Structure 1
C-alpha cells in the first residue's frame, strides 16, 4: 500500500516558461538546506544538500505566460542509497518521486506539471531525504500519441470471459476510467453515501491458505466476487499471502500480519533454491489451495483481474524481501502452475511494481499497475503513470490498483494520465473523511469521465451503457 509531478528549483521568478528550460537548485528559496560544491560534476554554481529533517524544503516561484503541461526532469546525485523526494505544485497535495542510488549526477523523468497563467509555486519537500539536487528541466509536453496496447491475453488458452474483460478494458482505455473500491462493505458505503456504485470491486485471497485458516481465519470473498459479477460488475483480486511457515506470532508481529517481511523468518530465496526442500513444497501447496478457489470463479464464469505478489519492489512483503529475482521467479512459477497444472484460464494477469528490474516481462503480464498513497493529493499520479508507460513501451494497459485519495477527473485528462481504473483502499481511506471527503467523492463519481456500475452493464458483450 503505498507521483505526480516534478522536482527541482527555479532561478528567476520573473521568467516565463514557454520552451525547454533548466533551472538551477541553488537559486531557489531554501529552508533547512544549503548549497554545496564539493561533489564535482554539477551544473551552475552549486547544488542543494542537507535534506535531513522532515521540514527541509526548496521553494520557488515560476511566472508563466501560458497554461501548459510540462514534462519534468530532475538532475540529482544519490550517494546514500535509494531515496524519494516529495514535490508539491501550487500547494496541491504532494507527489513522491523516486531517486535511485547513484554516485553520478543523473537526470531522471519526474512526471509532469500543469502550470497556470501567472504565478506558480513549486516546493520540494524532504520525504526520505539524504540526496543532492542540482537542477530541474521543464519541457512542453507533446500530445500523447495513440496507445499501442495489446488486448490479446498472454495465456493462449484464456477463456471467453477473460478475453471479454481485457477487450473491454482496451475499448475504454484513454477514454474513461473505471471507478473501483476495495472490500464489499466499503463499496456498499460508497453506494449509500455517494449515490453511485463503483464498477470494480477489489477483494483479497488472504484468508484461504493454511497459515491463516489453521489459526481460525475464514473467508467469503469468492462468494462476494460471484455476487458482484452477477450484478454486472468487474472483480479484481489481490493476495496478501501469509508466509506458509515461520510466522513470529508475537505481540509486535501477530500471525495475521504474516505477509510482512518483518513478521516472518520465511526466506523466499532459499525456498526457491530447489524443488525438494520443505518450504518450496509449502509454497506449492498454498498455490494449489488458491487454485481451488479460483476454479470456483472460473466455473461461475467470473473473470478476474489477478494481482499476485503486489508491491514486490517495496520489500515490505516477504516475496519482495530478497530483491527482484526471487520475486520474479515466484511469479513465473505461480503463472505456470495456475495455467498449465490447474487450467485456470479466467485470469487477467496484473503486475504491480514499477521498477524495470522487477518486471517479469511482457510474456506473462496483461496489465501493469501501481499502488500509490498520498494523503490529500487528488492529482493524476502522472509520474508513476509515465514510468509504467515507459516500462512496457505503451504496450500494456495501466491501472491504479490501489489508491488512498481519488484523482480528480479534470486533472487526469489534463495530464494525459490514462489509468484504466482506480481502486480506493478500504476503511478510513474511503469513509474516514481525511483521505477523501464525501463532496469530492460525489464530484468524482458524477463525472462523465468516471464509469460506475450502472454504466458498464453488458460489458462482456461490449454493449456497456457508458456515456458517449
Structure 2
C-alpha cells in the first residue's frame, strides 16, 4: 500500500483551514478507494429537473455521489443560469447542501472566448494571448475573474466559513476544441494565463480553492507537462477520458486510461500531488456490465482521488439522442451499478461522511 505523502501541501499558501483539511482528507481517502462523482447530479436527471434532494444515483443506491460537478459558464456575462440551464442560485444551494452532508464540489468553467464573444468552443487562433496582462482583453477577462471570485466567496457553510471547492480551470487543455487549448496559443501563453488566474483570485481573497490541472489525451510525461504552470500553481493532476461507440468492448478505453494513469501517477509521486480522472463515461451506457467490467478495470489499482462521470441530461432534441452517463431507474446497467456501489473501493457520500466532518 502506498504510504501517505507527508510532502503534500496546497499551492495557495493562504488556504483556509477547511481547504487544508479537505486536501489532507482527500489524500487519506486514496488509501481506502476512489471517490465517485457526477456532474449536475442534484439539479436534474433523466426525465426530471429541480426536485429537492433528488439524484439519479440516489434513486438507485439510496446514496449520493461523493463528488458533485458544476460549471460556472455564463457567470462572466451576468447570466442567471449556467451553460446547462442550471440557475446559479440553485447551484449555490446544492453546493451548500452537499457540503453539509460531507459531499465535495468541483467546478469547471466553459467561459466564452473573450476575443470573439462566442462560446468556449470558438477556438479562434491566438485568443488566449489576448487575456494576458497588457493585452487588449485583459481588462475584460479580469472582470470575469471578479465575478467568479464573488461566486466562490459566496459559498459559505452555516458557520459562515467558505466551502472548499476543487477548481478545474482551462480543462482539457491538450485538446484543440476550446479557445485555450492546444494550437490556439503557445505553451508559455497558457502558463502565463494559468498563473495570472491563480494570482488574481488570491489577490481577490479567494483561498478556498484546490486547483486541478486537466488534460484530454496525452502520450507521455513530456506531453502531459508541456503546459504545466509549475508545482506552486497546481494541487491535483487529472485528465478526461470517454469510451466511444467505435470501442464497444471498452478495450481501447481501458488501455488508454491505464496508460495515462501510469504516467500521471509517476509525475504525482515526483511532484507530491494527488491524481484524478476528472471526467469519464460512456454515453447512454449501452453495456450492462460497464461499471464492474470496464470502468473498474480501467482504474485498476491506481490510487486516484476521484472519478467524475458526466451529466444526465436525458433526451437531446437537437441531436435526437439520449445523453446521460450514470444509470437511472430501469436503465440496462442499473444492477451492475449497484454491484459497483457495493465494492469496497468505490466511495460515495455515506462512505466519506465520517471522514470529512
TM norm structure 2 = 0.76
Matched, 1:333 2:196: yes
Structure 1 residues 293, 347: closer, same or farther in 2, change over 3 A? same
Alignment of 1:34-433 (within 5 A): 146=3, 148=5, 150-183=7-40, 184=42, 185-186=44-45, 188-210=55-77, 218-220=87-89, 221-248=91-118, 258-262=119-123, 267-272=127-132, 274-275=133-134, 277-298=135-156, 299-320=160-181, 321-339=184-202, 341-353=203-215, 355-375=224-244, 377=250, 379=254, 381-392=257-268, 393=270, 395-405=272-282, 408=292, 411=297, 415-427=300-312, 428-431=324-327
Cα deviation, residue 270, structure 1: 3.4
* Structure 2 unaligned spans of 5+: 46-53, 219-223, 283-289, 313-323
What is the number of residues matched between the two proteins? 303
The CA deviation string for residues 22-75 of structure 1, in whole angstroms up to 9 with x for no partner, is xxxxxxxxxxxxxxxxxxxxxxxxxxxxxxxxxxxxxxxxxxxxxxxxxxxxxx
Structure 1 residues 387, 270: closer, same or farther in 2, change over 3 A? same
CA contact (8 A) 2:82 2:88 kept: no
CA distance in 2, matches of 1:361, 1:285: 25
Q: Which has the higher contact order (CA 8 A, sep 6+)?
A: 2
CA distance in 1, matches of 2:9, 2:296: 30
Cα deviation, residue 379, structure 1: 3.9
CA distance in 1, matches of 2:352, 2:18: 15
CA distance in 1, matches of 2:351, 2:242: 27
CA contact (8 A) 1:370 1:401 kept: yes
CA distance in 1, matches of 2:175, 2:26: 27
User: Alpha carbon RMSD of aligned pairs, Å?
Assistant: 2.9
* Structure 1 unaligned spans of 5+: 1-143, 249-257, 462-468
> Which protein has the bigger strand share?
1
CA contact (8 A) 1:207 1:219 kept: no
> Which protein has the bigger helix share?
2
Matched, 1:446 2:342: yes
